Amino acid sequence: MVTALVTGGTSGIGAAFARTFAERGDNLVLVARDQARLDETAASLRHAFGVEVETVSADLANRDDVVRVADILGRADAPIDVLVNNAGFGIHTPLLAEDTTPHELALNVMGRAVLMLGAAAGRSMRSRGTGTIINISSTAGYITMGSYSAIKAWVTSYTEGLAVELAGSGVQVTALCPGWVHTEFHERAGIRESSIPGFLWIDVDELVAECLSDVAKGKVISIPSARFKFLMLFARHLPRSTIRAISGRISSSRAH
């Protein structure tokens, strides 16, 4: 029986991964801050799919809470077979803001927690010779929209480095780099959906299905949809000055 641990597992991409795993009959460990929402999500998945769902209330900006989750990933009894490092949020704060707290919080949740949980899972899975680590990055990491882009660029590079260290161990490591996905993430981030061309949006369940297909093929970087594969091919080869100009145009689409 496979057990998957999903951070940020009660909403957006994390919830879609949790639902997909439950549909396959996999047991779950869901990590999020809101215990009430965790309980509601767990009850719904248990009822719909008859799987076991463990919940962990944790704030991944808090290092002690990250350590608690890392301990779960390292346990020998009831081992975790799949880790989805999904917890995250958008960042509006300018890089020049006097208050850098939002950036520090983002680095803790989408940087430090990913590092610590990936390390804990990687050690445990390597010792068993099997396992999967999926880090949710973003196509934003290929452009230059403030600290969110910088952090997601790190997540992708970190994932590649972790894949190098775990090569030949039986552990698959993949960075999922989505573009615009129909979830509540963009509403929370203050991005007007109407400002983004319709053809650029992807359904969240299609996103998860394509990612898991790429994982099964052993791909280290998963960029769902042919249109975003094409766009990121251009992004990797365009002059950086052009990328910065495009990034400025995209940033202007955010709601104020």
CA 36 to chain centre: 22
Cα 207-54-102 angle, rounded to 5 deg? 60
Residues 6+ apart with CB under 8 A from 192: 253, 254, 255
CA distance 23 to 18: 9
Residue that has been written with the tokens 């100009």 in this structure? 245
**Ramachandran region of residue 132, left (φ > 0), alpha (ψ -120 to 50) or beta?**
beta
Burial of 9 (C-beta count, 10 Å sphere; 0-12/13-18/19+): buried
Strand ranges (E), 27-152: 27-32, 53-57, 82-85, 131-136
Q: Which of 148, 158, 180, 185 is catalytic?
A: 148
Asked about 148 being catalytic, the answer comes back as: yes
- Residue 172, amino acid: Q
Cα pseudo-dihedral 116, 120, 126, 132, rounded to 10: -70
Sequential DSSP letters for 206-245: HHHHHHHHHHHTT-SEE--SHHHHHHHHHHHHS-HHHHHH
Catalytic residues: 148
